[in-house]
Amino acid sequence: MTCLSRSRPGRPAMGIPKSVLLKLAEAGALRDPPEDKVYMMTLGNDAWKIYEKWLSGASVKMWICTAVVTDRTDAADGLDKHAVEVGVRKDARSMLIKLAQDHALEMGLEAPDVDTRPRVPIGMSVSVKVALALVHGLSSATEPYETINGLSAGTYICDVVHAFHKVCFNIKICKK
């Protein structure tokens, strides 16, 4: 996976302190290939905790999107993998739109103009508050998010990608 564009070797990714990137690598955030600027982690692991702590104090905006990786969807619940993928995409899209619109209203801003067609890829520029709310919301979703709500604890839901200039953070989300 290539994220936006690559940094020059030895240079920190724009806006992310090099010390944070080093701590993420030490905590097990994977990069594949190693020269890529995509850090892979799982919600709740040590790398996620470091990233969340940094992000919570950062004053940044990012592009956020969700990706459902079909071959990692757990069909042990007797659900069809394709049905789970479609349902998770719909639930994740609905949650992101609602969070972004609620945050805009809270801040006195105009609600984002979002293409609500279900097959359009989900993604938009969001604040830290919305980005963190989506990650935590997906892992513990209840009604009206029927597909995610119906999954068993520990089941893979989707990946959420936080994209900055020259670096991305790919967060694997599983049901709590």
Looking at the predicted structure, is the pLDDT value of residue 12 above 50? no
Looking at the predicted structure, is the pLDDT value of residue 5 above 70? no
| Percentage of residues of the chain with pLDDT beyond 70 | 77
Give pLDDT tens digits for 125-145. Answer: 788 888 899 999 999 988 889
Q: Which residues pair with 42 in a beta bridge?
A: 172
C-alpha distances in Å from residue 121, one per residue of 80, 131, 143, 145, 146: 21, 17, 22, 18, 20
Query: DSSP string spanning the chain?
Result: ---SSPPPTTPPPTTS-HHHHHHHHHTT-B-SSTTS-EEEEETTSHHHHHHHHHHHH---EEEEEEE--GGG---TTS--HHHHHHHHHHHHHHHHHHHHHHHHHHTTPPPP-----TTSPPEEEEEHHHHHHHHHHHHT--TT-HHHHTSPTT-EEEEEEEEETTEEEEEEEE--
Give pLDDT tens digits for 155-168. Answer: 888 889 898 888 89
Quick one: average pLDDT of 16-41? 89
Q: How confident is the model at residue 44 (pLDDT cuts 50, 70, 90)?
A: very high
